[in-house]
């Protein structure tokens, strides 16, 4: 039954997908690249970074490919000049929202935001950069939470909730004041629910959550973390 196949056109190329697939999956399976940041295979899609937005013919709105299911005869454009421009702007906004100084970041050379910036040729930001500094949480003996580098993709929250099953992390406040919290906004060391599994640091696309004293290239593997692969195969 699930083998019912949907035919769609992505960037002029005819591709086939399962009806339950998202546009992103259909594209990736067929070798078509769509940039993502908050998306992580195996976790509930968030739809927040907006980098994966695509144009669907007949729909005036841009759709996030990580959340939109395919349908028969869908015609999708993934890289129009408008989309490329918007993606570039989004990367600029992320880089200017908090303090992102690659040279002093543990994720330097191993950062998804940095990678995207160079891929899209972001060589400056047209908006002013924000230099407001947030206090680091270095209380925990193993982990560091640096809000200054956080892009609020919520991967850590989702992995903590959906894979580890504890929901130690969440977001406090809203809008530009949003911030990752541990339990009731406690220092990490005081957390009563954290299992110290370290999955949050493994999925962080930037250097916001990391293991003390280690450069991310040592702690983070490029491929999908094993615990997510395990869950997916279940």
Partner 1 sequence: MKPEEIQKIAETEHDLRMAYKYRINVCCSSGCLPFGAQKLLKAFEDAVKELGLEKVCKVARTGCVGTCSVAPVVLIDPGNHLYQNVKPEDVKKIVQEHIINGRVLEECVYKNEAYFSKQYRLILRNAGKIDPLRIEDYIAVGGYSALAKALTHMTPEQVIYEISLSGLRGRGGAGFPTGQKWNFVAKSTAKPKYVVANLDEGDPGVFANRTLAEADPHAIVEGMVIAAYAVGAEKGFIYIRSEYPLAIQTLKKAIEQAKSYGLLGNNILGSTLNFDIELRLGAGAFVAGEETAILSSIEGLRATPRPRPPYPAVSGLWGKPTLVNNVETLANVPLIILNGGAWFSKIGTPKCTGTKCFSLTGKVKNPGLIEVPMGITLKEIVYEIGGGVPEGRKFKAVLVGGPSGGCLPENMLSLPIDYESLTQAGAIMGSGGIVVIDDESCIVDTARFFIDFCMDESCGKCVPCRAGIPKVKEILDKIMTGEGKVEDLNVLEDLSYLIRDASLCGLGQTAPNPVLTTLKYFKQEYLTHIVERKCPAGKCVLKKVEVIKE
Partner 2 sequence: MTTSTSLDKRLILVDKAITTYGNRKDALLEILHIAHNVYGYLDKKILLHISEKLNIPPSQVYGVATFYNYFKLKKPGSHAITFCLGTACYVKGAEEILSALEKEFNIRRGETSADGKISVFATRCVGACAMAPNVIVDDEMIGKATKEQVLEKVRKLLEGERSET
DSSP 222: S
Q: Which is nearer to partner 1, 161 or 197 (CB)?
A: 161
Q: Which stretch binds partner 2 (CB under 8 A): 39-47, 61-69, 125-133, 161-169?
A: 161-169
* Minimum distance from residue 177 beta carbon to partner 2 (Å): 9
Q: Which is nearer to partner 1, 17 or 211 (CB)?
A: 17
Residue 234 contact among partner 1, partner 2, none, beta carbon within 5 to 8 Å by kind? none
Q: Which is nearer to partner 2, 70 or 160 (CB)?
A: 160
Q: Which is nearer to partner 2, 41 or 186 (CB)?
A: 186
Collapsed DSSP state (helix, strand, coil) of residue 81: helix
193 binds partner 2 (CB under 8 A): yes
Give the burial class of 132: count Cβ atoms within 10 A of its Cβ; 0-12 exposed, 13-18 middle, 19 or more buried.
Answer: exposed
* Minimum distance from residue 209 beta carbon to partner 1 (Å): 18
3-state secondary structure 25-38: HHHHHCCCCCCCCC
Collapsed DSSP state (helix, strand, coil) of residue 9: strand
Count of CB atoms within 10 A of residue 216's CB?
Answer: 20
By CB under 8 A, name the one of 85, 119, 173, 230 that touches partner 2: 173
By CB under 8 A, name the one of 78, 110, 168, 201 that touches partner 2: 168
222 binds partner 2 (CB under 8 A): no
d(CA 37, CA 207): 14
d(CA 143, CA 188): 8
182 binds partner 2 (CB under 8 A): yes
176 binds partner 2 (CB under 8 A): no
Collapsed DSSP state (helix, strand, coil) of residue 119: helix
Query: What's the residue count for the chain?
Result: 234
The contact set with partner 2 (CB under 8 A) reads 161, 166-174, 181-185, 193
């Amino acid at each position: 039954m699930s083998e019912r196949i949907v035919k769609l056109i992505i960037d002029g190329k005819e591709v086939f997908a399962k009806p339950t697939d998202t546009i992103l999956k259909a594209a990736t399976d067929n070798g078509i690249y769509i940039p993502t940041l908050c998306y992580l295979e195996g976790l509930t899609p968030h739809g927040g970074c907006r980098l994966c937005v695509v144009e669907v013919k007949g729909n005036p709105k841009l759709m996030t490919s990580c959340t939109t299911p395919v349908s028969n005869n869908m015609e999708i454009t993934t890289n129009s000049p408008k989309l490329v421009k918007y993606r570039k702007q989004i990367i600029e906004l992320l880089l200017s929202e908090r303090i992102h100084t690659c040279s002093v970041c543990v994720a330097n050379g191993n950062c998804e935001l940095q990678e995207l910036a160079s891929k899209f040729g972001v060589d400056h930001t047209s908006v002013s950069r924000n230099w407001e500094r947030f206090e680091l949480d270095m209380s925990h003996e193993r982990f560091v939470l640096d809000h200054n580098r956080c892009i609020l993709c919520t991967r850590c929250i989702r992995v903590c909730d959906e894979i580890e099953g504890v929901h130690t992390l969440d977001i406090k406040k809203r809008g530009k004041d949003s911030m990752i919290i541990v339990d009731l906004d406690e220092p990490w060391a005081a957390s009563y629910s954290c299992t110290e599994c370290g999955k949050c640091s493994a999925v962080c696309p930037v250097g916001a959550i990391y293991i003390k004293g280690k450069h991310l290239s040592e702690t983070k593997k490029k491929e999908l973390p094993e615990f997510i692969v395990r869950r997916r195969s279940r």
